[in-house]
Amino acid sequence: MKRIYLCLAALLILLLLAACESGGKFRVVNQTSHPLYVNVENGPEVTVPGGAEHTFSIATQKQHIFNPDVEKEVPVRLVGETYQIYDEDAEAFTDTTTVTIKAGETLSAYINPNRASFKVVNNSSQAATRIELYKHNFVAAYLIADLGNLAPGQSKFLRVDYATAHNNFYYYAVVTMDDETELTFGNPTTVLDKDEQFLVTLTDPE
């Protein structure tokens, strides 16, 4: 009888060890044409290029037969150059959300584009002191953003609306450099579709 109890105890220990599992994964699949910038659990920012993916390992409690449903709410900050999280409850765009990670499982997030964007890259030797973005509906122009200063070697982007058949418009930008030179970029052909980017690269004059 004692041997039976010992065998049952050993079997129970083996079952417990075999069932123990901790940690889950969060897989981000970037299906846009532009980078995603992702922070999980307030960790370091990871850049996921367009068309690429990245998997985050998430620590959780151990899962076993007495605690079979281990879950963890994890904060996520996810910023895409042509993607932005949409909170349906608040009916507003946001950059943060939470995901539920289950021990021993991988949660996959497939990120599809839902915005267009305007991006400025300063490859010149002087700062840009003012970066204005205008929307023109082919009748009148409206200032929609001023991105402020941009030092040499830096870049900035802004997610913007894309044009549709019922709402057609184009963008143009006016950039003022440190020497007060004013540069204009864009024209009536700068009509952005979903996942498209109006890219401005500043360089020194030749």
Global confidence as pTM? 0.84
Give percent of the chain with pLDDT exceeding 90. 75
**pLDDT tens digit string along 38-60?**
999 989 999 999 999 999 999 87
Domain residues for the domain of 47 are 22-111
Please give the pLDDT value at position 49: 98
Do 93 and 140 lie in a common domain? Answer: no
Question: What is the distance between the alpha carbons of residues 18 and 76, in angstroms, rounded to a whole number?
Answer: 31
Q: How far is CA 127 from the centre of its chain?
A: 27
- How many separate domains does the chain show? 2
Q: Is the pLDDT of residue 76 over 50?
A: yes
Q: Is the pLDDT of residue 164 over 50?
A: yes
* Stretch (H or E) spanning 67: none
Q: Is the pLDDT of residue 192 over 90?
A: yes
Q: What is the mean pLDDT of residues 166-195?
A: 97
Q: Going by C-beta distance under 8 Å and a sequence separation of 6 or more, which residues neighbour residue 92?
A: 86
Q: Of the residues 62, 80, 111, which one is the last residue of a structural domain?
A: 111
Q: Which of 11-15, 131-135, 174-178 has the lowest mean pLDDT?
A: 11-15
